[in-house]
Amino acid sequence: MSEKKTPILIALIGVLFFITGIICFVVGILGLVLPEFEDIIADILPDFDIGALQTSAIVNTIVGFISMIVGWGFLKGWSVFWYLGVIVSVLALIMEAYNVYLGAYPTIGLIIVNLFILLYLFSPKVKTYFLE
């Protein structure tokens, strides 16, 4: 069985999943283990609801870990990761919308990126690559 060649945009999205997964995971862990992380977030994002930071940290840690795995699967072209990519993109959209609701307006850019990824995953060429 020959290994299929990964299209460049899918590889790029795989790398993006992996990098954003690392960032989300690290931020989530920092939010869970460093009490002074609340002060850092309060200084950077004064409108952010600090009471929701613990929930956000837990979600960031989980989504970050899953995103790293999805990024690896995209680079390998494994079909199950198309489904996981869709799920992670939807979860990331929900998480980023929640962060905007809490006052973290810089995450609007991540909403746009995740929307692009989600739409791209549903393009016929990508679905064919992963699912056939």
How do the pLDDT tens digits run along the chain, 132 residues long?
456 788 899 999 999 889 988 988 998 888 788 777 777 777 776 666 666 777 778 888 998 898 899 999 998 888 899 999 999 889 888 878 887 787 766 677 888 888 998 999 999 988 888 887
Q: Both ends of the chain: CA-CA distance in Å?
A: 14
**Does residue 2 lie in a domain region?**
no
pLDDT of 96: 81
pLDDT of 48: 65
- Quote the domain boundaries for residue 70: 8-131
**Does residue 1 lie in a domain region?**
no
CA Rg value for the chain: 16
Tally of domains within the chain: 1
Token pair 């056939």: residue: 132
Sign of the C-alpha dihedral computed for residues 84, 20, 69 and 38 taken in this order: negative
**Does residue 59 lie in a domain region?**
yes
**Does residue 3 lie in a domain region?**
no
In this prediction the pTM is 0.72
Q: Provide CB contacts within 8 A for 25, sequence distance 6+.
A: 60, 61, 64, 65, 67, 68
